[in-house]
Amino acid sequence: MIDLEILRHIHTYRLTTSEIVANLFRLPLDDSNRILESLRAKGLVGSADLNGSDPYFFLQHKAAQVLRVEKVDAGPINGTAKVQAYASACFCCGGKRFRPLMDARVFRTSFPELYRPGAKINYYTEGAKLGLIRVDTRENTNGDVFRLIERAGRDVIRRTNPFKNKKERKQESLPEFRDLVKRGQFVVTVLTALEQKAERIRFELDQMQDRNRLYHLHRNTSRNNTKARSREEAEAAKMVFEQWHKNDRGGRRRRAPAYPPPLEIEVVPGLLDVMFPKPPQ
Spatial neighbors of 24 by CB under 8 A, at least 6 apart, are: 9, 93, 94, 98
Comparing CA positions, the residue from 61, 68, 16, 56 lying closest to residue 43 is: 61
- Asked whether the predicted pLDDT for residue 29 surpasses 50, the reply is yes
* pLDDT value of position 168: 44
Residue-range domains of the chain with CATH:
2-77 (1.10.10.10), 123-275 (no CATH)
Percentage with pLDDT > 90 across the chain: 54
Cβ burial of 8 (10 Å; 0-12, 13-18, 19+) is middle
List the single range of 95-99, 119-123, 198-202 with lowest mean pLDDT.
119-123
Q: State the average pLDDT over residues 105-122.
A: 86
* pLDDT value of position 244: 55
Average pLDDT, the chain: 84
Strands 123-126 and 129-135, bridge-based pairing: antiparallel
Helical packing angle, 29-41 and 2-13, nearest 10°: 80
- Asked whether the predicted pLDDT for residue 143 surpasses 80, the reply is no
In this structure, the dihedral spanned by the alpha carbons of residues 81, 203, 100 and 68, taken in order and rounded to 10 degrees, is -10
| Most confident segment among 60-69, 141-150, 248-257 | 60-69
Radius of gyration of the chain, Cα coordinates, nearest whole angstrom: 23
Distance (Å, whole) CA 253 – CA 111 = 34
Contact 202, 263 (CB under 8 A): no
67-74, Cβ contacts within 8 angstroms, sequence gap of 24 or more: 67/4, 67/7, 67/8, 67/11, 69/11, 72/11, 73/11, 73/14
Query: Other CB atoms closer than 10 Å to residue 96's CB: what's the count?
Result: 5
DSSP character string of 83-125: HHHHHHHHHHHSSSS---B--HHHHHHH-TTT--TTPPP-EEE
* pLDDT value of position 42: 97
pLDDT in tens, 169-201: 444 457 888 899 989 999 999 999 999 999 999
* pLDDT value of position 176: 84
Q: pTM, whole model, 2 decimals?
A: 0.82
Comparing CA positions, the residue from 14, 72, 24 lying closest to residue 48 is: 14
List the single range of 133-147, 166-180, 267-281 with lowest mean pLDDT.
166-180
Distance (Å, whole) CA 76 – CA 126 = 29
Q: How confident is the model at residue 144 (pLDDT cuts 50, 70, 90)?
A: confident
